[in-house]
Amino acid sequence: MKSITTVLVIVGFLPFLMGASISLTDTPNPGGNPQQIQGSGTWSVAQGETATSIQYQVTLKGSNPPQTTQSTFKPTGNTWSSTLSVAAATYNPCQVTLYYTANGMANTFTTKDMNDQVVR
């Protein structure tokens, strides 16, 4: 049990060691609105780093090739939210990517949600 706790602690702190992090919560049919899915969360970068954009993307479950819907926008504050208009279906995975610069180099940090999101 100690080794699992240690691994969880290290993985939990990994985004902070890397300098950037972004969280993701998916909400199908936000406010009861049909054919919409909303992603939201918080983001951060370390001192000296600059966030340049955020991309929220959902993929139609089982589609081959993958059929995706996405939005890209400039981050403000340290929370984000994006609502996409989509067909009524199941989406998996959903993901958000934070694009940022550190020491003059472009970087990304991605968080994925592998749970089925059913949009009506």
Domain boundaries, the chain: 19-119
Predicted confidence at residue 1, as pLDDT, reads 46
End-to-end CA distance of the chain: 41
Strand partners, 3: none
Distance CA 23, CA 3 (A): 25
What is the pTM (predicted TM-score) of this model? 0.84
Strand partners, 69: 58
Fold of 19-119: Immunoglobulin-like (2.60.40)
Distance CA 63, CA 92 (A): 10
Q: Tokens standing for 106?
A: 């472009």
Confidence of residue 11 (pLDDT cuts 50, 70, 90): very low
Mean pLDDT of 75-94: 97
Distance CA 115, CA 97 (A): 17
